[in-house]
Structure 1
Amino acid sequence: MRTRPLKVALLGCGVVGSEVARIMTTHADDLTARIGAPVELAGVAVRRPSKVREGIDPALVTTDATALVKRGDIDVVVEVIGGIEPARALITTAFEHGASVVSANKALLAQDGAALHAAAVEHGRDLYYEAAVAGAIPLIRPLRESLAGDKVNRVLGIVNGTTNFILDKMDSTGAGYQEALDEATALGYAEADPTADVEGFDAAAKAAILAGIAFHTRVRLDDVYREGMTEVTAADFASAKEMGCTIKLLAICERAADGGSVTARVHPAMIPLDHPLASVRGAYNAVFVEAEAAGQLMFYGPGAGGAPTASAVLGDLVAVCRNKLAGATGPGESAYTQLPVSPMGDVVTRYHISLDVADKPGVLAQVATVFAEHGVSIDTVRQQGKDGEASLVVVTHRAADAALTGTVDALRKLDTVRGVASIMRVEGE
């Protein structure tokens, strides 16, 4: 066994970074045995050096992250500061000065993953990022390595614990969106500004990463269609229950049936109660993978939090250190298919549309005519009326998103339609 330690620079020492440092210390002997050499925390870059960090030698703390990654003796840089800059510059600088990188930075990888992979290859370094998607759940490595000989056709998942907690509360208690969000905030599941979670930006970044790995093509954040879940109501859940469904914010990555393109999207959707994702409760994540030979696979576990995310970071650290000792690098970017990303209008699925209409004869016929004119076939209709007002719930057969959008635009122009209360896709059937 090599006695000279592998030196690790830690960028960021917040919730995740502090757990990485703690595990490196408390599990030092086990990590040494698994890697084949000791690992040593050689420096910790932070913004507030005066803050007391239990278990970390103050002599290791610095505010000069650039100087830390430029040190010639650093073997691995662990980046858990998030954001685009200075993380991007620090990672490329680390490659240039001889260090491999372990990152949890989903936003950066979704935006500039191709450039970072190219920089890693140019300098003969590793770039690992299991912690960027779904916290502790082993997902990226199975997609990148275990399923490397298979053809993945679909990845469908709950990849944001905050939104799943909120929707689960709305489903199980009948709470409204704001009430469920307030509880999530009080329990620490939601940030003071929850926009990245509830508007789907966090899940969209993860969808871009998953689609790129699953389909061996480059998918950027801008390629991912995104809808948040702030407009989901208790009435939507009541309708879902009548259909034997619940509502989840889903990240959906699909290969076209002809194999010539891919799609990536994030939006709320109704899924049947007997689908495995329907039973994912609280702040947990789960990802459902459909592969040609392996069939259907389910990955489930805590998708966020200091210790779970640090677990994924340490798993990558062990792998990168082993590669370092072997004088090799692990699998990098696989984008050989270069498949185009189709627009949302090409996506085909079912829809649940709730309309506020006038309660008078002929309304249903008018609405049905609009659906027919746009080539959207109706599966079921449910109508309730009272005192001149009515609600009309239409569930369609599978149709292209563009056709549904045209249908809804035309419905809004009808004098008898007072409003489109809700539009939701139906998935997982």
Structure 2
Amino acid sequence: MTTVTERETIQQQFQERIDEDQLLNCMRCGFCLPSCPTYIESGFKESHSPRGRIALMKAVVDGLIEPDEDVERTLELCLGCRACEPVCPSGVKYGHLLEEARDIINQNKKHSLPVRAVRKAVFEGLFPHQNRMRTLTGLIGFYQRSGLQAIAHKTGVINILPDNLTSMEKVLPKVPTMKEMKNRPTHLQAEGMQKKRVAFFSGCLMDTMFLETNNATMKLLQTAGCEIVIPQNQACCGALHGHSGEKDGAKELAKRNIQAFEDLNVDYIITNAGGCGGFLIEYDHLLKNDPEWKDRAKAFVDKLKDISAILMELEFDKQPLRLPAQVITYQDSCHLRNVMRTSNEPRRLLNAIEGIEFREMQGADRCCGSAGIYNVVESEMSMQILDNKMEHAKATHATTIVTANPGCLLQMKLGIEREGLSHKMRAVHIVDLLLEAAEYAQKA
């Protein structure tokens, strides 16, 4: 609960920091309402829509209401999926407003001691340090390989966790060994004629828990004719910080990444995680008020490209791609679609695979409910959204659900597990499927 002094400070900072032009650009037309998952799942509650949240921010700025717990709660409940932005006729940058409001509230309220400890451990102690990410992931790998996981399930000890975490534990990928996580390449040559020289943003979770997907990404890039540079001094993208009211931490990570990539003399910087890409591509906005970094941030952003986009540019879809007969559907990564504006390229690549039938899922552009750590901190709403998503997925009769972001991938795996469909349906990252298709075509 915020004190009177905290609310006064928050209100003052809303007036100083929130972009009033963006608030005024909202015409209250309601075009955003059908695209907002929390508005729909809350029973069409106006305060849980983008229009309603903007109205609340404007009321705080104008001094009509206090930034109390109700205002904070409706901002917390937002997924940050930004599906409202592509449909907004005024081009309101809702995501920027949301992140600024969350940062103001978080930095000016006194959290309880346990919350402060957790936030410090996560945002300062873990994600900015890749060696610590490897250590934590290594512990999960030890749990999986040592027999502890089997014992936890056999004895029922695992059931002390909340239901959603119990299910999430089942769908975690098999974690690589510490040796595999430490033995990472820094430079790879193209296979055949070199067409592009690219840098690869390997990420934090992607280069630990999802290491095999990173390996598949680099293999596809090599096959497509790319020389690859992987700078060792890159860092976490900062998305989790930026979305959780830790903007200063996000800025520091952004600066580390810009510095790591800016002197590499590459054509593109490639990412394979929609959530990371959606944050990386807005570094110029994040650092717009920093004279030393704003131009450097813009140069970084101008080179950023998703893996599916560069594969299409290099005509990877014309290479032999084949899989055994199966029905495939695609779930958009919100930030890949709504922020990076990349949605056609993944579908064109999937449709290029011989032997499969691609079926578009109704509402594929609607958030799956993962949204970073949303499925942990807002489990009830997340599972409600996921249940709706799985109804649409089942309607396609797909045996393979493809996505382009690790959080979405785990969420769809969780949905399959919750529906009891693990025996006949799988979820897979698009690069893993494309590599599978390329290798199967070679054997055919």
TM-score of the superposed pair, with normalisation by structure 1: 0.26
Structure that is richer in helix per residue: 2
Structure that is richer in strand per residue: 1
TM-score of the superposed pair, with normalisation by structure 2: 0.26
- Name which one, 1 or 2, has greater alpha-carbon Rg: 1
Larger RCO (CA under 8 A, 6+ residues apart): 1
